[in-house]
Amino acid sequence: MNKTALALSFFLSFIFFQQSWADDFILMQSTTSTQNSGLLDYLLPKYKALTGTEVRVVAVGTGQALKNAENGNADIVMVHAKNAELKFIQSGFGVKRYPVMYNQFLIIGPASDEELNQLSKLSEVLTLVEQKGKRWISRGDLSGTHKRELALWNKFKINTSSADWYLDIGGGMGTAINTAVELNAYTLTDSATWIAYKNKRSHKVIFSGDPLLNNQYSLILVNPAKHKHVKKELAMEFVGWMTGNEGQTLIGSYKLNSRQLFFPNANQ
């Protein structure tokens, strides 16, 4: 082989290697809670070390995550709003829903509020918020948390559309908690974000534990028939790992401040 042919061979090998390396990733649209809690920073390096595949994350609210995926800006999504997920699949944008883990939604508010602290039913808490005009902070961003909040108001027939106690901020979970703390108000948050949140001041969990506050997270493969560039094989390898023994064990072992943030349930 002459020098020119040898150089060309090395060059083509380098290009092939670069291309293979560049393709060795998947793009996941995910909720902010999985990112802000530190869970993905804990899981994804372990997955890359095992498989060589990088999972690149765009952390946004569930509504925006699904919209981005509809536009082809994802191989996979991890979200927490079942009705929106099923609609996403029924509309042909997703292939299948894979439950992965769950935690809880919580209502947080000022610890000094003795009225709400004494209530034992979710319906009583939300009804009293309305009746007493207690300031409520809503994310207003069509995230999974916002969608659950809207479903709760609807279930208990509480109209917030013209309520002066209801503040729609159109922001993320951290912003909603910050605003609630600053205004001595109430909001709905996922438990992982609340545990990870540092600036609680005098705020605490006012209510938790109702089945209506269960918070399920699932993975959905974006439909390759809609978007040809979707990396189906790599994405499904990741699904298999997250729902398999290793991924589920790691999810269950992740703790912050000695508290478990997510509970694996892929096999339930």
Say which CATH number the domain at 141 has. 3.40.190.10
Q: Are residues 222 and 189 in the same domain?
A: no
pLDDT of the residue at 267: 86
The three-class DSSP label of residue 191 is helix
pLDDT of the residue at 118: 86
Average pLDDT of the segment spanning 39-47? 98
Asked if residue 138 is part of any domain, the answer here is yes
The pTM (predicted TM-score) of the whole model is 0.88
pLDDT of the residue at 20: 44
- Containing structural domain, residue 202: 104-213
Q: Are residues 65 and 194 in the same domain?
A: no
Average pLDDT of the segment spanning 6-14? 48
Q: Which of 213, 238, 254 is the last residue of a domain?
A: 213
pLDDT of the residue at 199: 84
Residue by residue, DSSP assigns 214-259 as: EEEEEEEEE-TTT-TT--HHHHHHHHHHHHSHHHHHHHHH-EETTE
Q: Are residues 109 and 99 in the same domain?
A: no
Q: Are residues 119 and 182 in the same domain?
A: yes
Q: What is the tens place of the pLDDT at every residue in 130-188? A: 999 999 999 999 999 999 999 999 999 999 999 999 999 999 999 999 999 999 999 99
Q: Which of 213, 230, 247 is the last residue of a domain?
A: 213
Q: Are residues 153 and 227 in the same domain?
A: no
Q: Which of 213, 232, 252 is the last residue of a domain?
A: 213
Q: Are residues 203 and 245 in the same domain?
A: no
Q: What is the tens place of the pLDDT at every residue in 50-101? A: 999 999 999 999 999 999 999 999 999 999 999 999 999 999 999 999 999 9
Q: Are residues 239 and 224 in the same domain?
A: yes
E strands in 128-185: 136-138, 166-168
Q: Are residues 108 and 209 in the same domain?
A: yes
76: left (phi over 0), alpha (psi -120 to 50) or beta: beta
pLDDT of the residue at 149: 98
Asked if residue 12 is part of any domain, the answer here is no
How many Cα atoms within 13 Å fall on the side-chain side of residue 178? 6
Q: Are residues 198 and 112 in the same domain?
A: yes
pLDDT at residue 114 is higher than 90: no
Q: What is the tens place of the pLDDT at every residue in 177-224? A: 999 999 999 999 999 999 998 889 999 999 999 999 999 999 999 999
Asked if residue 69 is part of any domain, the answer here is yes
Q: Are residues 35 and 124 in the same domain?
A: no
Other beta carbons less than 10 A from residue 122's beta carbon: 19
Instruction: Please state, in angstroms and rounded to a whole number, the distance separating the CA atoms of residues 185 and 137.
Output: 7
pLDDT of the residue at 3: 52
Asked if residue 230 is part of any domain, the answer here is yes
Domain count, the chain: 2
pLDDT of the residue at 2: 53
pLDDT at residue 15 is higher than 90: no
Q: Are residues 112 and 180 in the same domain?
A: yes
pLDDT of the residue at 268: 79
Q: For a pLDDT cut of 90, what percent of the chain falls above it? A: 84
Asked if residue 6 is part of any domain, the answer here is no
Quote the mean pLDDT of the chain.
92
Asked if residue 222 is part of any domain, the answer here is yes
Asked if residue 8 is part of any domain, the answer here is no
